[in-house]
Amino acid sequence: MVNKAELEQKLKKLAGLSPEAQAKAVKTLFTSEELKFLQQQAMHSKQPGKCIFCAIAKGEIRAKIVYDDAHFSAFLDINPANPGHILVIPKQHYEVLPQIPDELLGAYMKLLKILAAAVFEATQAQGVNIIQNNGAVAGQAVPHVHIHIIPRFENDGIKLNWDAKKVTDKQLENIQSRIVAAAQKLAADKAPKKEVDELKKSKTKIEKIKLKKRKP
């Protein structure tokens, strides 16, 4: 059990140190049990300053790092679905994927490609899942964008499947047109005109398919 009074004292002591001394003291001052407790606490905090992944990115909390550069860090998940399960994060704190600036996304995707291959090779996996959850309801445990890379093996018992909902063709068409409209609006805010025209063309294609389908 963590003695909260003792932990309070330690936190006070830590607060009085310089940032450099703090980074060192974090590793010596606390027991592993206390660190775990603080990590749990941080996981449920919405304040970026107390975010556990920010702390890992800054080297304030130790993690089993597998990759690190100016913008991204990757480390072993301490609760892995399989050995070799890693998390890839932007160092800057963004809560969910849509908040990440476009300029970072290309590099993020390239890094995922490299790390997925590295995990695949190092674990001798037969497959790899790349998973990204947005929002607690979607299973996002830490409110700092992270992408899971999970090596997969036959009969490893990991369940990612779901029961399919029953939908009518009408319902599919309805949600299709709403997503197309939303995507066009969002793309128009950012994309050069050419890309928007491409999207519009793709909608025309969809409509053609629909028309074709209706013929007996």
Q: Is residue 30 part of the contact set for Zn ion (CB under 5 A)?
A: no
Q: How far is the CB of 54 from Zn ion (least distance, A)?
A: 3
What tokens were used for 157? Answer: 């018992």
x/- binding map, residues 175-214, to Zn ion, per CB under 5 A?
A: ----------------------------------------
The residue (of 55 and 125) whose beta carbon lies closer to Zn ion is 55
Cross-sheet strand order for the sheet of 147-152:
65-68, 72-76, 86-90, 147-152, 127-131
Q: Which of 85, 93, 144, 146 is catalytic?
A: 146
DSSP string, the chain: ---HHHHHHHHHHHHTS-HHHHHHHHHHHS-HHHHHHHHHHHHT---GGG-HHHHHHTTSS---EEEE-SSEEEEE-SS-SSTT-EEEEESS--SSGGGS-HHHHHHHHHHHHHHHHHHHHHHT-SEEEEE---SGGGT--SSS--EEEEEE-TT-------PPPP--HHHHHHHHHHHHHHHHHHHHHHS-HHHHHHHHHHHHHHHHHHHHHH--
Q: How far is the CB of 8 from Zn ion (least distance, A)?
A: 23
Q: How far is the CB of 43 from Zn ion (least distance, A)?
A: 11
How many C-beta neighbours within 10 Å does residue 171 have?
Answer: 11
Q: Is residue 87 part of the contact set for Zn ion (CB under 5 A)?
A: no
Binding residue (CB under 5 A) for Zn ion from 42, 86, 115, 144: 144
The residue (of 51 and 147) whose beta carbon lies closer to Zn ion is 51
The residue (of 71 and 203) whose beta carbon lies closer to Zn ion is 71
Number of residues engaging Zn ion in binding (CB under 5 A): 5
Q: Is residue 88 part of the contact set for Zn ion (CB under 5 A)?
A: no
Q: Is residue 51 part of the contact set for Zn ion (CB under 5 A)?
A: yes
The residue (of 46 and 193) whose beta carbon lies closer to Zn ion is 46
Per DSSP, what are the bridge partners of residue 150? 129
Binding residue (CB under 5 A) for Zn ion from 71, 93, 200, 203: 93
85 is catalytic: no
The residue (of 56 and 116) whose beta carbon lies closer to Zn ion is 56
Q: Is residue 54 part of the contact set for Zn ion (CB under 5 A)?
A: yes
Contacts to Zn ion by CB under 5 A: 51, 53-54, 93, 144
Which residues are known to be catalytic?
146
